[in-house]
Amino acid sequence: DLFERMTVPSARLPKALAGLTSRENVTEAVVLSTCNRIEVYAFAERFHGAYQDIRVSLAEL
pLDDT per position as a tens digit, 3-37 = 667 778 888 889 989 999 999 999 999 999 887 78
Beta-carbon neighbour count of residue 12 at 10 Å?
14
To the query of whether residue 43 is one of the catalytic residues in this protein, the response is no
Q: How far apart are CA 5 and CA 8, in angstroms?
A: 8
Determine the straight-line distance between the first and last CA of the chain, rounded to whole angstroms. 17
Q: How many domains does the chain have?
A: 1
pTM: 0.78
Which position among 5, 9, 11, 35 bears the catalytic label? 35
Strands 38-43 and 28-33: antiparallel
Structural domain of 14: 2-60
